[in-house]
Amino acid sequence: MSLPTTYTRIIFAERPVGDIVPHKAFRIEPEHKVADLEPGEKQVLVAVDYLSLDPAMRSWLREKKTYREPIQIGATMDAGGLGTVVKTGKDSKWKVGQTVKGSFGWTEYAQMNDEAVALVEVPQGGELLDFLGPFGPTGMTAYFGLFDIGKPKPGDTLVVSGAAGATGSFVCQLGVLKGLKVYAIAGSDEKVQWLEKELGVTKAFNYKNKDFYDQLKEHMGTFDVYFDNVGGEILEFMLTRMNLYARIVICGGISDYNNPNPSGIKGHLNLISSRALMQGFLVFDYASKFGPAIAEMQQWLSEGKLKSKFHVVHGVKSAPEALPLLFTGGNTGKLVVKVSNI
């Protein structure tokens, strides 16, 4: 297989304070030699096809450790993705041409240990990108967050913030599948229309409208499960609208990710009178259960009961400018970078 002589990677250059300024936080390095990535024993060289962009990346840029070690200044920006094996080292278990997934980072080529990648086999009727969507961490986050922590019952009222994003859009669809009354919160009228007409939610709301909270009170009333992706003022409001034994699933807090001094919540005492549960989680805690969950998601996708939507940007050099879209509502569906020309 003929390979180029050079490749591009994106380096983490400066820890952002507040909003990410792409040209300050990241540095594009276009002239690295592919020959320097010669795979050693039990290693492979992977041509990166797609990279996942996720809100959690903002926490990786902080100096403070979260659920993982922070990315170090001068390192290639990390990211999970999908790629093709283009060269193998001695005694590698992989073969040239196989499609694999792994944490390749923002780069066009990655030298990987055999054990750091896993085989990807696209099911009949599926597509490769589904492994960054319904069959990947995004879909699993929606599945286990809703079903294991939200524990919805038929007829329950489910509210989803960040509903037009990657995880939120799957939570909405899973709620519809399970017979819930699903109320979706998004940031534009276009997204509201998509959620109602394409995904079939009971009603969607644009939180930027002046009468947003009045509309939510009128149509939703109170809720049983709230799947929270944004935190902030909307979470504070939802803490005043709980049914008895309500469950609040804390998946993310996009409204505060760029805030160096988050304000925190004030309405938590309402959890007492409502006997409610508010719980955070990490999808990786459920890794041993991914198999059956993915099989169920595959079934729904093949039956047309589940839809994937991807917001695709092109070229690894586009990643720094694309990442902030996650915090401004600039994407609908799963945000990915198409790196190769497959």
CATH number of residue 39's parent domain? 3.90.180.10
pLDDT of 77 above 70: yes
Specify if 302 maps to a domain.
Answer: no
One-letter amino acid for residue 96 of the chain:
V
Is 214 a domain residue?
Answer: yes
- In contact, 46 and 98? CB cutoff 8 Å: no
Q: Is residue 325 assigned to a domain?
A: yes
Reply yes or no on whether the pLDDT at 342 is more than 70: no
In a domain, 301, yes or no: no
- Do 213 and 165 belong together in one domain? yes
Residue 238: CATH number of its domain: 3.40.50.720
Are 88 and 29 part of one and the same domain?
Answer: yes
Same domain, residue pair 142 and 278: yes
Whether residue 293 is contained in a domain is answered as no
- Percent of the chain whose predicted confidence (pLDDT) is above 90: 92
Tell whether 325 and 279 lie within a shared domain: no
144 and 124 housed in the same domain: no
Residues 144, 271, single domain; the answer is yes
Number of structural domains (the chain) is: 2
Query: Looking at this protein, which amino acid is placed at residue 159?
Result: V
Same domain, 96 and 142: no
CB atoms within 10 A of CB 230: 24
Do 157 and 251 have their domain in common? Answer: yes
Is the domain of 223 the same as that of 159?
yes
- Going by pLDDT thresholds of 50, 70 and 90, the confidence category of residue 126 is confident
339 with 313: CB under 8 angstroms?
Answer: no
153 and 234 within one domain: yes
Domain holding 83, by residue range, is 6-130+308-338
Is the pLDDT at 163 greater than 80? The verdict is yes
Position 256 scores a pLDDT of 87
With a cut of 90, say whether residue 257 has pLDDT above it. no
Phi, psi of 157, rounded to the nearest 5 degrees:
-95, 120
CB 126 within 8 A of CB 52: no
Go through 269-301 and write b for each residue having 16 or more CB atoms within 10 A of its CB, e for each that does not: ebbeebebbbeeebbeebeeebeebbebbbeeb
pTM of the model: 0.94
Question: Residue 178 — very low, low, confident or very high, per pLDDT cuts 50/70/90?
Answer: very high
| Terminal C-alpha separation, the chain | 14
Of residues 175 and 64, the one with the higher pLDDT is 175
- On whether the CB atoms of residues 92 and 43 are closer than 8 A, the answer is yes
Is 104 part of a structural domain of the chain? Answer: yes
For residue 107, being part of any structural domain is answered with yes
The answer to whether residue 299 is domain-embedded is no
User: Does residue 255 register a pLDDT over 70?
Assistant: yes
Place of tokens 């967050």: 145
Whether residue 157 sits in one domain with residue 114: no
Predicted confidence band of residue 228 (pLDDT cuts 50, 70, 90): very high
Average pLDDT over residues 258-273: 89
Whether residues 123 and 145 share a domain: the answer is no
> What pLDDT is stored for residue 153 in this prediction?
96
- pLDDT tens readout for residues 183-217: 999 999 999 999 999 999 999 999 999 999 999 99
